[in-house]
Amino acid sequence: MKKRIAIFASGSGSNAQKIMEHFKYSDEAEVALVLSNNPDAYVIQRADNFEIPSHIFDRNEFYNTDNVVNILKNLNIDLIVLAGFLWLVPYNLLKAYPNQIINIHPALLPKYGGKGMYGDHVHKAVLANKEEEHGITIHFANEHFDEGEIIYQARFKIDPSDTLDIIKFKGQQLEHQHFPKVIENLLKKM
């Protein structure tokens, strides 16, 4: 029986795309559902391109009902992947999926994490602090932003001439390279 993955994303979904590509022909796992809090998110189109169903929800449905949890349970989801998803995970979802929700963060946690630290906000802070290295963190989600147990980190050197666009690109390359493999390894342990 294939393990089943649900991906939550709020925006473009480039990491979601890499995950969908990685598992498209897998005998071990499949992406069964893509969920978004943004009806205009390009990740919905990416899911359609792979013929993967999607579900769009609003704040009330996510935080004040069990609808999302029930959808995931009805689809026998084994692992939830947050790939550029910007809302805090509610308690009912954490309780239903203990140690089965992972997130990717565009920095080396515990540095540059927490509320408001996403996307360009992270990279601008890293540049402003003249950090010599930067990277990505894949971690379990918990009731706080970016504080769950770290699963994997990958690093790159920041050159003095690196611009915001260059460090974003370097980080995204690491995300695309490592996130699908970390997911695959986690699923093997489940």
Binding site annotation covers 14?
A: yes
Binding site annotation covers 15?
A: yes
* Catalytic residue selected from 22, 55, 105, 144: 105
Assess contact for 130 and 113: CB atoms under 8 A: no
Pairing of strands 133-140, 54-56: unpaired
Binding site annotation covers 135?
A: no
Q: In what order do the strands lie in the sheet with 54-56?
A: 54-56, 29-36, 3-8, 79-82, 101-105, 133-140, 150-157
Find how far residue 111's CA is from the centre of its chain: 18
C-alpha to C-alpha distance for 156 and 144, rounded to whole angstroms: 26
* Catalytic status, residue 178: no
C-alpha to C-alpha distance for 10 and 142, rounded to whole angstroms: 18
Binding site annotation covers 119?
A: no
Q: What is the DSSP string of 127-165?
A: HHTT-SEEEEEEEE--SSTT-SPEEEEEEEEPPTT--HH
109: its two tokens: 């946690």
48: its two tokens: 């359609």
Indicate the annotated binding residues for (6R)-10-formyltetrahydrofolate.
Answer: 103
Annotated binding site: 13-15, 103
Tell me the catalytic residues: 105
